[in-house]
Structure 1
Amino acid sequence: MKSWWQKSLMIAVAVLTLGAISPNHTLWETILDEKGSQKSHAAANENKDYTYDWVDLSEYYDNGRTVIDSFYQTSEEQAYMKFGSRIGPVIQDEFQTAILPNIQQAIDMHLGSLGAEKLNQLAISEKPAGDYAEKIFHIYDTNTKKDEIRFHVRTEKKPQEGYFFNFHYHLAEDNYQKHYALGDIYWSKDTPPKWLS
């Protein structure tokens, strides 16, 4: 009788929850014992011995991945700070899908090969430039105060098309002379507001 009752209960629950709770769920093992009576969760677990393995997490924190992940987050924050409340809401979706992944890829490509010691010496500048200046943020060496990568955006007016925001970056390797394109976002034919506004 117990087996029939237990099977019926499991089938009823599976049908009523549209399969969200599966019949072989461990819940059934802890609710019903051999006699079909209910028992508490504490009683079901009181005879179990638990062993724990200690994991050394220092390798995860020292490998530089967390530093690069923090660069991702801070770069996004600095970009939205630069856009301000007038530009940000208009270009937010396109920035998220077209530009931000390219910024993250550039960070990976140019900083991913650096060792953890060098990565821990790097930081992101805290103040994007306002008015019509290009600077979004720079990643620099805190010891030498020299920029490693400079991420910029400039406003360009294309005849017959209107205004675009051109996102790009510069590297210390070539003395910041070459523009590495990240993408363009169209604004409109009207002059965009100043940055940080």
Structure 2
Amino acid sequence: MKKHLQNLIIALVAVLTLGVISPNHEIWTNLHPKDDTRQAGIPTTSKHDLQLGLEDSVFERESFEHTLSIEDALLQPAKELAYLKFGSRIGPAIQNEFDSNIYPKIEEVIQQTVASTGGLGNRMLSITETPSGDYAEKMFHVTDKDDNKDLIRFHVRTEKRPLDGYFYNFHYHTAEDGFTVHHSLGDIYWSKNTPPKWLS
């Protein structure tokens, strides 16, 4: 039973670290009783066999990185960063309208951009990791890591409209027009009261 537990732990370490960190096998030799057959010089598995298994997991990791779907690589992180920006005060109030009206348009723009750059297999695209707080507009940017340049910048602006109250204007800017044109994604009404700061 102890042998099976050790093999399970070795396999878990290899899988969780994707083969980058190999488990130190000296740990296991100290756990065996003194009359264990491995201490007497009778090997049960060769070191070469263990290394081969770990190297295989490194190759699996590399191929996994290249087969990330657009959902995992860009769309899901985009949604998570949007909700991070909204915070716990704004998020619950606008979540339904954001999910049904704004986010599908964000998905469409990201998919069009990925298609126009030749797909994830040809370009290394990523999402910026930190939305801005206070009353700043930045939600997230889609960046081409090969060129280290932004392709799309997704923003949300708080607008006060006389007699109507406060609205959140969701829009994006593209590198094609030098990030100067506002491409509208839609508006969400807040209320006549001043909205809280982002990330709050």
**Taking structure 1 as the reference length, what is the TM-score of the superposition?**
0.65
Q: For the Cα contact (< 8 Å) 1:68–1:107, is it kept in 2?
A: no
1:81 paired to 2:76: no
Contact 1:156–1:164 at 8 Å: present in 2 too?
yes
1:49 — aligned with what?
none
Deviations 1:74-118 (A, max 9, x none): 110000000000000000000000000010011112222322443
Q: Please, which of 104, 118, 122 is the counterpart of residue 122 of structure 2? A: 118
Distance 1:63 1:173 in 2: 27
Checking the alignment, whether the CA contact within 8 Å between 2:73 and 2:126 is kept in structure 1 is no
The amino acid across from 2:195 in the alignment is P
The one-letter code of the counterpart of 1:82 is K
Which of 138, 141, 147 is the matching residue for 1:138? 141
1:93-108 map, 5 Å: 93-108=96-111
One-letter code aligned to 1:118: N
Tell me, yes or no, if the aligned pair for 1:68 and 1:108 is still in contact at 8 Å: no
Residues 1:157 and 2:177 aligned together: no
> Distance in 2 between the 1:102 and 1:128 partners?
19
Where does 1:1-197 land on structure 2 (aligned, <5 Å)? Answer: 66-115=69-118, 116-119=120-123, 121-197=124-200
**Structure with larger Rg:** 1
C-alpha distance in structure 1 between counterparts of 2:64 and 2:105, whole Å:
25
Q: Could you tell me the percent identity over the aligned residues?
A: 55
- Aligned positions, number: 138
CA distance in 2, matches of 1:172, 1:92: 28
Give the superposition deviation at 1:144.
2.4
* TM-score, structure 2 normalization: 0.64
Between the aligned partners of 1:185 and 1:118, the Cα distance in structure 2 is: 36
Where in structure 2 are there 5+ consecutive unaligned residues?
A: 1-62
- Computed over aligned residues only, the root mean square deviation of the Cα atoms, in angstroms, reads 2.1
Deviation at 1:142, TM superposition (A): 1.5
Structure 1: which 5+ residue stretches go unaligned?
Answer: 1-58
Return the alpha-carbon distance in structure 1 between the equivalents of residues 161 and 143 of structure 2. Answer: 33
Three-state SS of the structure 2 residue aligned to 1:108 is helix
Q: Which amino acid aligns with 2:113?
A: H
Work out the CA distance in 1 between the residues paired with 2:198 and 2:95.
14
CA distance in 2, matches of 1:141, 1:92: 29
> How far 1:141 moved relative to its partner?
1.5
State the distance in 2 between where 1:63 and 1:158 align.
Answer: 46
